[in-house]
């Protein structure tokens, strides 16, 4: 893991798994522009200082909330919404339960779940990419509950679309594994519960091979992440705008 990856972490009072995808290398030359796309866990724990920094110094102009309505009711929209930042609700999970995922004999259950996002909520997945591309200025925050699965899939599609090398896409996804203990430490403290056992924490850690398999299946079935996005409605103009927004 390179220092350039580690340096993308962002420190806030109320977030444990927040980072900027800016600084990731691009195929050929260049890198992803900083201050355009941030990935985090849910935002209900933000302090007033966090909100001031996000809306002021960082310039967040929109939030993509990938959680379900049930999660919204239980945990709230978060302090950025309270501060007037535009929030786009784009759940990756159907409220009535997961639909059928086409079987792949060797597929990890997590990989199958990620394919389910694309099968069940393709329109919302593409809308998330489209919203990032359409922002004229400022930063977009994308989040789910922990900032690793639903967020990880959307960010991996965006990174792939703008030309981040596959190994770097996978590494960025897996980086959230280093923050699982911090996430659960905060959650359990808020609820007055004990920390889970090490084996349970490990069960929640993103694994590089999961993202490798997921993206590999998109290659085999759809010709890759970009072709999946195109076949589900993302236009060439929108793809070019996304690249213009994120390429430095």
Q: What does the block give as tokens for 8?
A: 């993308």
- CA–CA gap between residue 25 and residue 3 (Å, rounded): 13
- Is pLDDT above 60 for 2? no
Q: Are 201 and 180 in contact (CB under 8 A)?
A: yes
Residue with the larger pLDDT of the pair 2 and 158:
158
What does the mean pLDDT of the chain come to? 93
Report the sign of the C-alpha dihedral through residues 12, 14, 15, 16, in that order: positive
Q: Are 39 and 155 in contact (CB under 8 A)?
A: yes
Residue 105's pLDDT band, with cuts at 50, 70 and 90, is low
- CA–CA gap between residue 175 and residue 108 (Å, rounded): 19
Average pLDDT over residues 45-74: 97
Q: Supply the pLDDT for residue 228.
A: 98
Average pLDDT over residues 120-133: 98
Concatenated DSSP letters for 122-166?
Answer: HHHHHHHHHHHHH--SSEEEEE-SSSSSHHHHHHHHHHHHHT--H
- Is pLDDT above 80 for 106? no
Ordered domains of the chain (ranges, CATH) = 3-242 (3.90.190.10)
Q: What is the pLDDT of residues 138-181, one digit of tens each?
A: 999 999 999 999 999 999 999 999 999 999 999 999 999 999 99
Average pLDDT over residues 108-129: 96
- Is pLDDT above 60 for 104? no
Q: Sheet harboring 19-20: ordered strands across?
A: 19-20, 37-40, 139-143, 60-65, 86-89
Name the most confidently modeled range: 6-15, 91-100, 147-156.
147-156
- Is pLDDT above 50 for 3? no
- CA–CA gap between residue 28 and residue 51 (Å, rounded): 36
**Least-confidence region, from 21-30, 146-155, 185-194:** 185-194
CA 80 to chain centre: 17
Please name the residues in contact with 130: beta carbons below 8 A apart, sequence gap of 6 or more.
234, 238
């Amino acid at each position: 893991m390179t220092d350039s990856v580690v340096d993308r972490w962002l420190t806030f009072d109320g977030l444990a798994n927040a980072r900027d995808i800016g600084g990731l290398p691009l195929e050929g030359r260049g890198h992803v522009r900083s201050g355009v796309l941030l990935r985090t866990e849910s935002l209900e724990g933000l302090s007033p200082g966090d909100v001031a920094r996000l809306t002021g110094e960082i310039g967040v102009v929109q939030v993509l909330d990938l959680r379900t309505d049930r999660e919204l009711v239980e945990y709230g929209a978060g302090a950025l919404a309270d501060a007037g930042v535009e929030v786009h609700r784009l759940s990756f999970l159907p409220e009535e339960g997961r639909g059928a995922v086409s079987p792949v004999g060797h597929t990890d259950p997590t990989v199958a779940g990620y394919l389910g996002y694309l099968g069940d909520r393709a329109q919302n997945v593409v809308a998330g990419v489209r919203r990032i591309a359409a922002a004229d200025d400022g930063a977009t925050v994308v989040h789910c509950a922990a900032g690793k699965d639903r967020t990880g899939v959307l960010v991996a599609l965006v990174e792939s679309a703008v030309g981040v090398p596959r190994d770097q896409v996978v590494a960025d996804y897996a980086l959230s594994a280093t923050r699982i203990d911090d996430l659960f430490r905060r959650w359990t403290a808020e609820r007055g519960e004990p920390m889970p056992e090490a084996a349970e924490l490990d069960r929640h850690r993103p694994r590089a091979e999961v993202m490798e398999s997921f993206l590999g299946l998109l290659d085999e079935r759809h010709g890759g992440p970009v072709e999946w996005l195109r076949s589900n409605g993302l236009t060439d103009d929108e793809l070019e705008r996304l690249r213009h927004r994120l390429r430095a």
